[in-house]
């Protein structure tokens, strides 16, 4: 299914924010970002974020929503246009500095970092405003055909730059992200906080590693749908299932390991409750199989939901 206009633009935002995070992480190291990384960053910001992403909005989204009643002068649209110009001014400052650093002039690194920090702070705040304020406002005044028109405009901007524009620049973004060794957000959480989050989820989790050994289960101190104790840790998953179901466990894991499927799900009735059981292939960013995660959830109340509830009743 093709993506909607807001999904395409928000994907640009998400990719760019990961580029910023990779640069910030590189600056946090003793050696800092390499000249090559800075050169790629400069190219991505100049040739994709400004010359492509912003053009998608300025040439196609913004004029259309102005026609639908969102004023260009005053309000969120005016702020977005003003911030585009602020970003261009900062990019103009960054251009000669980035070019010099990319060419090996490390004496300009501190100047680059100062402008980078101001530029990235502006854009991250700008993306948030568009995602959470302007785009929802636009969606309320746009028709389905308007949305299709904006998608066509997005594609036209990309085609005007060259073939496979989005693919090429997303690939460049990935090179920057990999160069910064971007850490998963969970790695910066305190272990106790992460454990508390997993135990707070209304879903019971367990994890079996790539060698079929049970390594983790959540809600240890809480009542569980399927009781288990620490004695399961370190044992083979096949030993944790009735003999009659071991063949199914093995088939699922073998399919996950071979890359033939990523999820297997079942649901059962138990004591008047509907229990949803899913097995998920856990893979790293390169697709390497790391193990299998099981999620168990009582979905009885979820299945009974009707209508909508948009406000919280405190009484």
pLDDT digits (tens, 9 = 90+) for 241-250: 888 889 999 9
Give residue 146's pLDDT band: very low, low, confident or very high (50, 70, 90).
very high
pLDDT 10s digits, 168-187: 999 999 999 987 667 778 88
pLDDT 10s digits, 81-137: 999 999 999 999 999 999 999 999 999 999 999 999 999 999 999 999 999 999 999
Sorted by where each starts, the structural domains of the chain and their CATH numbers stand as: 5-183 (1.20.120.520), 188-303 (3.30.450.20)
Instruction: Give CA separation, 87 vs 24, 46, 93, 122, in Å.
Output: 18, 10, 10, 7
Would you state the structure tokens that stand for residue 210, as one six-digit string?
A: 């790539």
pLDDT 10s digits, 12-58: 999 999 999 999 999 988 889 999 999 999 999 999 999 999 999 99
Q: How far is 35 from 151, CA to CA, in rounded Å?
A: 36
Q: What percent of the chain has pLDDT over 70?
A: 98
Q: What are phi and psi of 120, to 5 degrees?
A: -65, -40
**Better-predicted residue by pLDDT, 161 or 186:** 161
Where helices occur in the chain by DSSP H, the ranges are: 5-27, 35-44, 54-56, 62-67, 76-102, 109-129, 135-141, 144-161, 165-179, 191-200, 246-257, 300-303
In the predicted model, is pLDDT for residue 259 greater than 70?
yes
pLDDT for the residue 1: 53
In the predicted model, is pLDDT for residue 151 greater than 90?
yes
Would you state the structure tokens that stand for residue 125, as one six-digit string?
A: 């705040």
In the 3-class helix/strand/coil scheme, how is 33-56 assigned residue by residue? CCHHHHHHHHHHHHHHHHHHHHHH
Of 3-12, 145-154, 191-200, 227-236, which range is least confident? 227-236
Where helices occur in 162-299 by DSSP H, the ranges are: 165-179, 191-200, 246-257
pLDDT 10s digits, 188-213: 889 999 999 999 999 999 999 999 99
Give residue 283's pLDDT band: very low, low, confident or very high (50, 70, 90).
very high
- Residue 57 and residue 218 in contact, taking contact as beta carbons nearer than 8 Å: no
- Residue 116 and residue 94 in contact, taking contact as beta carbons nearer than 8 Å: yes
Q: How far is 113 from 115, CA to CA, in rounded Å?
A: 6
pLDDT 10s digits, 56-75: 999 999 999 999 999 998 88
Q: How far is 247 from 250, CA to CA, in rounded Å?
A: 5
- Residue 22 and residue 182 in contact, taking contact as beta carbons nearer than 8 Å: yes
Sign of CA dihedral 308, 127, 145, 77: positive
pLDDT for the residue 74: 83
The CB-based long-range contact list for 209-214 (8 Å cut-off, 24+ gap) reads 209/290, 209/291, 210/257, 210/289, 210/290, 210/291, 212/236, 212/237, 212/238, 212/253, 213/237, 214/240
pLDDT for the residue 183: 74
What pTM, to 2 d.p., does this model score? 0.74
pLDDT for the residue 310: 79
Q: How far is 255 from 72, CA to CA, in rounded Å?
A: 54
In the predicted model, is pLDDT for residue 314 greater than 70?
no
- Residue 101 and residue 109 in contact, taking contact as beta carbons nearer than 8 Å: yes
pLDDT for the residue 189: 87
Would you state the structure tokens that stand for residue 49, as one six-digit string?
A: 């974020």
Instruction: Give CA separation, 193 vs 123, 198, 217, 294, in Å.
Output: 30, 9, 16, 21
What is the average per-residue pLDDT within 285-303? 94
């Amino acid at each position: 299914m093709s993506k909607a206009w807001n999904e395409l633009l928000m994907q640009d935002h998400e990719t760019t924010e990961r580029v910023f995070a990779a640069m910030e992480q590189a600056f946090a190291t003793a050696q800092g970002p390499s000249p090559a990384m800075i050169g790629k960053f400069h190219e991505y910001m100049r040739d994709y974020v400004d010359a492509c992403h912003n053009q998608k909005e300025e040439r196609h989204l913004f004029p259309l929503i102005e026609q639908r009643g969102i004023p260009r002068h005053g309000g969120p649209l005016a702020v977005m246009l003003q911030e585009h110009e602020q970003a261009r001014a900062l990019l103009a400052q960054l251009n000669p500095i980035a070019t010099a650093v990319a060419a090996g002039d490390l004496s300009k690194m501190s100047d680059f970092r100062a402008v980078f920090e101001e530029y990235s702070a502006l854009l991250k705040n700008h993306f948030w405003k568009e995602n959470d304020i302007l785009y929802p406002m636009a969606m309320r005044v746009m028709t389905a055909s308007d949305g299709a028109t904006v998608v066509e405009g997005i594609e036209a901007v990309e085609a005007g730059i060259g073939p496979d524009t989005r693919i090429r620049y997303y690939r460049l973004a990935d090179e920057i992200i990999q160069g910064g060794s971007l850490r998963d957000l969970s790695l910066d959480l305190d272990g106790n906080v992460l454990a508390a989050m997993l135990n707070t989820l209304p879903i019971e989790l367990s994890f079996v590693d790539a060698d079929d050994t049970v390594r983790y289960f959540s809600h240890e101190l809480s009542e569980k749908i399927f009781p288990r104790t620490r004695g399961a840790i370190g044992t083979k998953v096949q030993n944790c299932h009735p003999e009659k179901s071991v063949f199914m466990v093995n088939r699922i894991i073998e399919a996950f390991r071979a890359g033939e499927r990523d999820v297997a799900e079942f649901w059962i009735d138990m004591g008047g409750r509907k229990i949803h059981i899913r097995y998920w292939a856990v893979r790293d960013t390169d697709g390497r199989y790391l193990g299998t995660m099981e999620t168990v959830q009582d979905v009885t109340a979820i299945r009974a939901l009707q209508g909508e509830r948009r406000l919280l009743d405190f009484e």
